[in-house]
Structure 1
Amino acid sequence: MGNVDIELVTQLEDKAIDIRKDLCTYIYRIATAGHLGGELSMVDVAVALYYKYMNYDPTNPEMPDRDRLILSKGHCGETLYTIYSDLGMYTMDYMVEHFNTLATGKFSMHPNRKYIEAIEASTGSLGHGLPIATGLALGARMSGEKWRTFCILGDGELQEGTNWEAFMAAGQYQLGNLVAIVDKNDLQMSGNTANTVTVDPLDEKLKAFGWDVIEINGNDMREVCEALESLPESDPHVRRKPVCIISNTVKGAGVAFMENVVGWHAGSLSKEKLEEAIESIENTRKVRQ
């Protein structure tokens, strides 16, 4: 992986800090349990994709040649909602008003394609996002389209067999227009992933399934940018190995009292905890400078 523009990295780092603060505020305002641990761990990758590396227009989220993003770990949809709000697609007030209400509910703990046009697929039943992404990538090839499909997965959901069927199929068809990103924060609802059903050695398994693998610190924006910039051009006429970015992250990244704490797989925030979380996130900006 080569060098990246440091000014770009700095801009994206600042944006990730803003998104983390807005995300915590959103969870506080909807007054229900979000999945902040995994939502915070994937912020850096999601910010890099939406603000730089995906072909995406927030004013036209269904443009035909857009890159597709499937959030397989759908319980972390509030991260995407917060980004959509920052991009001007929805106001925060609107998303709070329309969260989990029977009459007007559009936003919920799991993203719903039927109600949110920016969502490519309704997800949350873990293990199904990568099969969908594989189908999209194959469809793009058959249609001669150059757009790329990204899929963000959790490491815990790699315990689901449908993911491995998709890994196998994508390797077989050499879907070079498919990029899987595993948010590997090593924790799941029941505890440490390695003590539940280990997915390691993940890099060796993926390579055996016919994938190229890039391993990074997924909470280091420079490494995230280097990985995304190193991706080969998406060309429907060229068969090459699909790429998996193993994004090693910290659950609850940016909020000191949440980091690597399994209890923050899900939870809500009091006003006091929100203030503490925002202060902690803002302190990461001071450390970076």
Structure 2
Amino acid sequence: MTAFAPHQLRQTVLRMAYSGSTVHIGCAFSIIEIMSVLYRNHLRYPGDNPAAALRDYLVLSKGHGVMAQYACLYEKNWLTTTDIENYFKDGSKLKGLSDAHVLGCEVTSGSLGHGLSVGVGMALAAKLNKSDQYCYAIVGDGEMNEGTMWEAILFAKQQALDNLIVIVDENGFQAMGKTHEVLGLGSLKDKFIAFGFDAIAVDGHDETALDNALIELKNNKNDNPKAIIARTVKGKGVSFMENENSWHYTRLTQDTFDLAMAELEPAV
């Protein structure tokens, strides 16, 4: 069985969303392969300890996609089946946004535009400590509208944070519409390069391409911070959710839950 298999992670997300009668399925699905590759091949946790002092950092700035991360923490046995079944219910420690009180989540996020600044600070601290830690920050393309994002990007270049890897989930949507209609930013890859980053654009659902991009960027031994523009599909994996922005806020019924789970069953 493949570790962090995307179809299994998506099924875990569905179980959480249905159990908790909650939303944000589409934006969790678009980052599943990103999470899968990071947890399988890149994030280092000495002693398999999410609180290890010299761990790599994963900052989920687009905190509303946190079910994708919870699914990975569940696979690592840092969350229990009870945690998943009680997601978003009274008394649960798992809320609908990333929460630093959950072991394995580095930041409390959801107020968009702020998580990257925290990640930049973590990368700077690692540099000052002369450690080899990386900070991976997953941000949304809609979130890139925020001015604080560009301040953090400028600061990262100024401080030569080559241990910072920003991964943009470019799914083309934000809560209230298409990103290019709300505030078009053109080529994010070109913008990151103009701000002094090494940047690569890839298919965000191609695990091999994601893995190769991460390896290439980390092998670039220079003072530049790094960025991956991951072109993704909101709602990826379930046909009636893909590129359907209503699933940003739509809750599952028994019928839609069953249909979605069936689509994610691997081919025999």
Q: TM-score range by the shorter chain?
A: over 0.9
Q: Are 2:142 and 1:142 equivalent residues in the alignment?
A: no
How many Å apart are 1:17 and its aligned residue?
A: 1.0
Alignment equivalent of 1:262, drawn from 240, 245, 263: 245
- Asked if 1:47 is matched to 2:36, the reply is yes
Deviation string for 1:107-134 (max 9, x for gaps)?
Answer: 10112113x1211111110001111111
Give the 3-state SS of the residue equivalent to 2:92 in structure 1: coil
1:105 offset after TM fit, Å? 3.4
1:229 corresponds to which letter in structure 2?
A: I
The corresponding residue for 1:227 is 213
Match of 1:92 in 2: 81
Query: Do the aligned residues in 2 keep the contact of 1:58 with 1:88 (CA within 8 Å)?
Result: no
Of 238-247 and 253-262, the range deviating more from structure 2: 238-247
Instruction: Tell me by how many angstroms 1:201 deviates.
Output: 1.7
Please state whether the residue corresponding to 2:237 is helix, strand or coil. coil
Equivalent runs, 1:146-161 vs 2, <5 Å: 146-161=132-147
- Deviation digits for residues 239-289 of structure 1, max 9, x if unmatched? 51111000000000001000001101122211111111112223xx43xx9
Counterparts of residues 190-269 of structure 1 (less than 5 Å): 190-232=176-218, 240-269=223-252
| Counterpart AA for 2:2 | Q
SS in structure 2 of the partner of residue 230 of structure 1: helix
- Kept in 1, the 8 Å contact 2:99–2:105? The answer is yes
Match of 2:154 in 1: 168
Unaligned runs of 5+ in 1: 1-9
1:123 to 109, 112, 115: 109
Task: Name the CA distance, whole Å, in 2 between partners of 1:87 and 1:266.
Answer: 28
**Is 1:179 aligned with 2:165?**
yes
1:11 lines up with 2:16 in the alignment: no
Amino acid at match of 1:148: Y
Q: 1:203 to 1:233 in 2, by over 3 A?
A: closer
| Residue 73 (structure 1) aligns with | 62
Task: Give CA-to-partner distance per residue, 1:78-103, whole Å, 9 cap, x none.
Answer: 111111112111223234336342xx
* Paired position in structure 2 for 1:280: 263
SS of the residue corresponding to residue 69 of structure 1 reads: strand
For the pair 1:60 / 2:52, whether they are aligned, the reply is no
Quickly say closer, same or farther: Cα 1:217–1:58, change in 2 above 3 A. Answer: farther
User: Match for residue 7 of structure 1?
Assistant: none
SS at match of 1:183: strand
The reply on whether 1:28 has 2:18 as its aligned counterpart is yes
TM-score, normalised to structure 2, is 0.94
| Alignment: residue pair count | 268
Query: 2:83·2:94 contact (CA, 8 Å) conserved in 1?
Result: no
Judge conservation of contact 1:176–1:240 (CA < 8 Å) in 2. Answer: yes
The alignment yields a C-alpha RMSD, in angstroms, of: 1.9
| Alignment partners' CA distance in 2, 1:22 and 1:58 | 25
Offset of residue 77 of structure 1: 0.9
Provide the residue aligned with 2:26 in structure 1: 37
Contact 1:133 1:149 (C-alpha < 8 Å) held by counterparts: yes
2:218 and 2:252 map into 1 onto residues whose CA distance is 41
> Relative to structure 2, which stretch is displaced further, 48-57 or 269-278?
48-57
User: Under a length normalisation based on structure 1, what TM-score does the superposition of the two structures give?
Assistant: 0.88
CA shift, 1:36, in A, is: 0.8
Percent identity, please: 32
Q: Is the Cα contact below 8 Å between 2:201 and 2:229 reproduced in 1?
A: yes
CA distance in structure 2 between the aligned counterparts of 1:150 and 1:187, rounded to whole angstroms: 22
